[in-house]
Amino acid sequence: MTDLTRLSIAQARDGLAAKDFSATELTGAYLGAIEAANPKLNAYVAVTPELALDMAKASDDRRAGGQAGPLEGIPLGIKDLFGTKGVHTQAASHILDGFKPEYESSVTANLWRDGAVMLGKLNMDEFAMGSSNETSYYGPVINPWRAEGDNKDLVPGGSSGGSASAVAAWLCAGATATDTGGSIRQPAAFTGTVGIKPTYGRCSRWGVVAFASSLDQAGPIARTVEDAALMMTSMSGFDPKDSTSANLPVPDFAAAVERGVRGLTIGVPKEYRMDGMPAEIEKLWAEGLAWLTAEGATVRDISLPHTKYALPAYYIVAPAEASSNLARYDGVKYGLRVSGKDITDMYELTRAAGFGREVRRRLMIGTYVLSAGYYDAYYVRAQQVRTLIKRDFEQVFADGVDAILTPATPSAAFGVADAEMNSDPVKMYLNDIFTVTVNMAGLPGIAVPAGKDEKGLPLGLQLIGRPFDEETLFAAGRVIERNAGLDLSPKVWW
């Protein structure tokens, strides 16, 4: 029998339907793979074998009774940011030590409704703050990819590094992830997987630990465009518990995957051609445009003039919202508590011990830009810039552009504990240069593997779409995926 963990979600779904294997067998194969690989990759912070096998057996029983859901029996990994009832949910932070919620996030509830199986909780940057998955309290996640002829450990990107690493290393069929400034798309590009950040409001944020509430959005990471579409159909939907949830019908995203790009207009923003961009990224971008053109799309140069302000504006808005959201973690009701001489001392000691270095840095930035005398100079101005960024996209789409093609990242994956990156936070933040505009404007964006660098590491392209038009992104992403024709199987060293 084929190694069950190497099957795509679509293939596994078909195999389960044909009774080639059971959900229990499929889940057991993934649990065995996790047991063998996780000590090296550190993708999971909590594995739930008993729960997974119970869910798989219930799935087999439903199928036997003719009640199979769209994701019936598909084993998934869940980012540690999603609340899972009775199961470790700590946002990879020490301050949430021992927290097991009494509720289920809306997104994971949707997945269980459709028959999916939970394998465990996936590692991530602490409170989703990071671009390399090195800020986790549980240590860095390791990318299953390695440069040719080199044994150096590489980062999987962040903050959804555990999700991307687990999918790429066949430790789950797909994974939930979140994206505040690129945290789905950048890890997908670094690991040769597909990741989509849906339009803000497409997936409920209820039950997901908040980082920056006006930017956060849940989405899937999977091995193929079709798999991402299948997962997103289940994850999406209106939720009255989330005031920012869009009350719109959920399309059958998978039905759009093979629709093609004939007649579409693809925009190429001149502002994304950065000084010093690696030649291999430039070449990949040109190849992607050529593939889309060959299949009937029209390519047009466009301008998004406020792009250069996106990163600085993002790093004001996101920390400001984080400063407000993370004020609730004080050691009083749940999580870590460090005793002090009085309640103020307890607050200070708990937060000092509970938050990691990067989270403390961003909280201090956020508190500063919201403080009296600086609010208007920084936060208000950043929100005004955000409006201009959104308007740039609106004008381009109004002018007939259907989607925009850009690089996903400025480079391939870099090394764990890279001295240059870790000594300069700004250099690390620049990893989000191509992705933050999408969050600032609330738009959908997908990262699709499109090539490899000279060392054999995956590189991705990003497609940005109109609000709530993820279907066009899946269709165009599939064209890139098919034309790239990559073998995205990292050599097993773990």
Q: Using CA atoms, how far apart are residues 96 and 70, in angstroms rounded to an integer?
A: 34
pLDDT of residue 2: 64
User: For position 93, what pLDDT does the model report?
Assistant: 97
Residues ≥6 apart with Cβ < 8 Å to 326: 127, 355, 359, 363
What distances in angstroms separate CA 441 from CA 215, 262, 480, one per listed residue?
Answer: 9, 26, 24
Name the pLDDT band for 418 (thresholds 50, 70, 90).
Answer: confident
Q: What are phi and psi of 84, to 5 degrees?
A: -125, 120
- pLDDT for res 206: 98
424 exposed, middle or buried (CB, 10 Å; 0-12, 13-18, 19+)?
Answer: exposed
CA nearest neighbour of 226 among 431, 479, 6, 401? 479
Contact call for residues 396 and 464 (beta carbons, < 8 A) = no
Q: Which CATH architecture has domain 7-261+413-484?
A: Alpha-Beta Complex (3.90)
- Number of CB atoms found within 10 A of residue 451's CB: 21
Helix axes 357-370, 310-325, angle to 10 degrees: 100
CA distance between the termini of the chain: 22
pLDDT in tens, 123-162: 999 999 999 999 999 999 999 999 999 999 999 999 999 9
Percent of the chain at pLDDT exceeding 70: 99
Q: pLDDT-derived band of residue 1, with 50, 70 and 90 as boundaries?
A: very low
- CA-CA distance, 112 to 59, in Å (whole number)? 10
Pairing relationship of beta strands 403-407 and 75-79 according to DSSP bridges: unpaired
Supply the pLDDT for residue 431.
78
H or E element, residue 46: strand 44-47
pLDDT tens, position by position, 76-133: 999 999 999 999 999 999 999 999 999 999 999 999 999 999 999 999 999 999 999 9
> What is residue 220's predicted lDDT score, i.e. its pLDDT?
98
36, pLDDT greater than 90 = yes
How confident is the model at residue 84, as a pLDDT?
Answer: 98
Q: Which helix (H) or strand (E) holds 464?
A: strand 458-465
Compute the average pLDDT of residues 483-490. 93
pLDDT, one tens digit per residue, over 14-24 is 999 999 999 99
Instruction: State if pTM tops 0.85.
Output: yes
Of 156, 152, 136, the closest CA to residue 144 belongs to 156
Query: Which pLDDT does position 278 carry in this prediction?
Result: 87
Q: Answer yes or no: are the C-beta atoms of 97 and 126 closer than 8 Å.
A: no
Backbone angles phi, psi at 117, to 5 degrees: -120, 135
Separation between Cα atoms, residue 102 and residue 325, nearest integer Å: 20
Catalytic residues: 79, 159, 183
* Contact call for residues 410 and 281 (beta carbons, < 8 A): yes
Percent of the chain with pLDDT over 90: 94
| Domain extents in the chain | 7-261+413-484
β-pair partners for 84: 87
Cα torsion angle, 48, 220, 158, 170, sign: positive
Whether the per-residue pLDDT at 192 is higher than 90: the answer is yes
Segment 241-258, tens digit of pLDDT: 999 999 999 999 999 999
25 φ, ψ (degrees, to nearest 5): -65, -45
Tens digit of each residue's pLDDT (9 = 90 or more) over 214-244: 999 999 999 999 999 999 999 999 999 999 9
Q: What is the pLDDT of residue 420?
A: 62
The two beta strands, 194-197 and 44-47, are unpaired
What distance in Å separates the CA atoms of residue 413 and residue 189, rounded to the nearest whole number? 8
